[in-house]
Structure 1
Amino acid sequence: MADDDRAERARAREFFAARAAGWDAKFPDDGPRYAAAIAELAPGKGAFVIDAGCGTGRALPLLRTAVGARGTVLGVDLTPEMLALAAAHRDAAALVQADCARLPLPDAVVDLVFGAGLISHLPGPAEGLRELARVTRPTGRLALFHPIGRAALAARHGRQITPDDLRAEPNLGPLLAANGWRLTSYTDTDERFLAVAERA
C-alpha cells in the first residue's frame, strides 16, 4: 500500500474514531429511513449481505430481518471504535475490521452490498468499488444510501453542492461503470439518497 493510501485510511479511521461514541445520538430519527430503504431493496431470504462501512451497526438488525435465519449478514468497518459499538448487534451479524478495498472474502459470494454514507468516506473510491464488485455475484447489487439527500446534507454542514460531488449522478454513474457496476436507479431527494447498481 502506498504512503498516500495509508495516510488517507488513517485519516478516515481517526475521523470516525473521534465521533463513534456520539454517532447515533446525533441522528436519532434516521431509523425509519434505513428501514424503508432496506425493505425496498428486499435482498430476500437466504441472501448474503454486507453492510460496508457498518459504523455502529444500526442497519444490521434490519438486514438480518430481511435475509432471515438462513441468510448471512456481515458488518465491515475500518474503525475499531465503531465496531465496538456495532458489537451490540452481534446476534444479527458477524463483524470484521477490514478495509473495503481489501475484504477477507472469496470472489462472487455476496448478493447485496449496503453502504450507508460509504462512497464519500472511501479513501480510494475506485479501488473500494472494484473490491466490492469482486466479492459480489454476477447481477448482485450495490446500494449506496444516505438518510438525507445531497442538498440537505450539504446544508446540514453549511455548504453548497459542488459539481465535483462524487455522489452526483453524472459523476457516480461513470465511476461505477469503470469499476464493475452498472447504475440502475438513482434517487436524491431531501428525504434520502439511494443509488442502486448491478454487478456488471
Structure 2
Amino acid sequence: MRHDTSDETARVREFFGERAARWDARFPDDGPAYERAVAELGPPEGGAVLDAGCGTGRALPALRAAVGSRGTVLGADLTPEMLRAARDAGRHRHARLLLTDVRRLPLRDGCLDAVFAAGLVSHLTGPEAGLRELARVVRPEGALALFHPVGRAALAARQGRELTADDVRAEPNITALLAASGWRLTSMADDEDRYLALAVRD
C-alpha cells in the first residue's frame, strides 16, 4: 500500500470520502451501463484485470463474470470510505481491494490483461502520468476502457457547466493523451447515456 500526502490527494479523498456512503443511492440505474462497458472491454477468461479508481466497486461483479473464477480482479482506489462502501455492498467477494494511488500501483510491469477506469481520467492530476502508470502494468496489446455512465454533454448539464475545448475527455484531447502515455485509441462513444473510450497498449 502506498500513500501520497499531497494536497491533491487530500482533496480527492475529501471529495469522495464524504460522498461514499450515498454514492450508489445517487446513481441506482447505472449497473447495465457498467456491464455493457465491461463486455466491450472484453477482458479474457482467466485473465487479470484492474478496476482503477474502483470507488464502490460497481464494475467488479461484471469484471469477475468476464474473467471467471480462474481470473484475477483487482479494485484500486485512493479513498478508504469508497472501499468501505464496496465491502459493505459485498463487492469485495469479486475482487481484491487495494487502497492505493493509481498513479503509483504496487504491481509489476505487464501483469494485467486489461484496465477498466470509470470516471477516473478527469480526476487525475497530471493524467498523462496516471495513464502511463496504467500502461506500465498492462501487457502489450492489453486493453483499457475509460468509461462514464453518461456522456460529456449530459454530465456538464448535470453539473451546471458548459463543455469547453480543453475537456480532457474530448476526442482530440483523449486521443493525444493516450498516445503520449503508451496507448492507442481504438474506438470512442460519447453519447447521452455513456462515454466509452477503448484503447490498446502499444
Q: Is the 8 A contact 2:41 2:144 kept in 1?
A: no
Counterpart for residue 196 of structure 2? 194
* 1:1-200 superposed matches below 5 A: 6-87=6-87, 88-200=90-202
CA distance in 1 between partners of 2:79 and 2:62 (Å): 21
Render the CA deviation track for 1:31-57: whole Å, top value 9, x for unaligned. 111111112222121010100000001
Q: What SS does structure 2 have at the residue aligned with 1:90?
A: helix
Structure 2 unpaired stretches of 5+: none
What is the RMSD of the two structures over their aligned residues, measured on CA atoms? 1.2
Residue 180 of structure 1 aligns to which amino acid in structure 2?
G
Q: What SS does structure 1 have at the residue aligned with 2:46?
A: coil
CA distance in 2 between partners of 1:159 and 1:66 (Å): 36
Q: Which runs of 4+ in 1 moved over 6 A?
A: none
Render the CA deviation track for 1:120-173: whole Å, top value 9, x for unaligned. 111221111111000000000110000110000000111111100000011111
Q: Is the 8 A contact 1:53 1:118 kept in 2?
A: yes
Q: Is the 8 A contact 2:103 2:129 kept in 1?
A: yes
Q: Is the 8 A contact 2:41 2:143 kept in 1?
A: no
- Using structure 2 for the length normalisation, give the TM-score: 0.95
Q: What SS does structure 1 have at the residue aligned with 2:198?
A: strand
- Using structure 1 for the length normalisation, give the TM-score: 0.96
Residue 103 of structure 1 aligns to which amino acid in structure 2?
L
CA distance in 2 between partners of 1:170 and 1:41 (Å): 21
Q: What SS does structure 2 have at the residue aligned with 1:16?
A: helix
CA distance in 1 between partners of 2:20 and 2:120 (Å): 15
Residue 146 of structure 1 aligns to which amino acid in structure 2?
H
Q: Is the 8 A contact 1:12 1:123 kept in 2?
A: no
CA distance in 1 between partners of 2:103 and 2:33 (Å): 27
CA distance in 1 between partners of 2:111 and 2:166 (Å): 33
- When structure 1 is superposed on structure 2, of 113-122 and 40-49 the one drifting more is 40-49
Structure 1 unpaired stretches of 5+: none
CA distance in 1 between partners of 2:193 and 2:101 (Å): 29
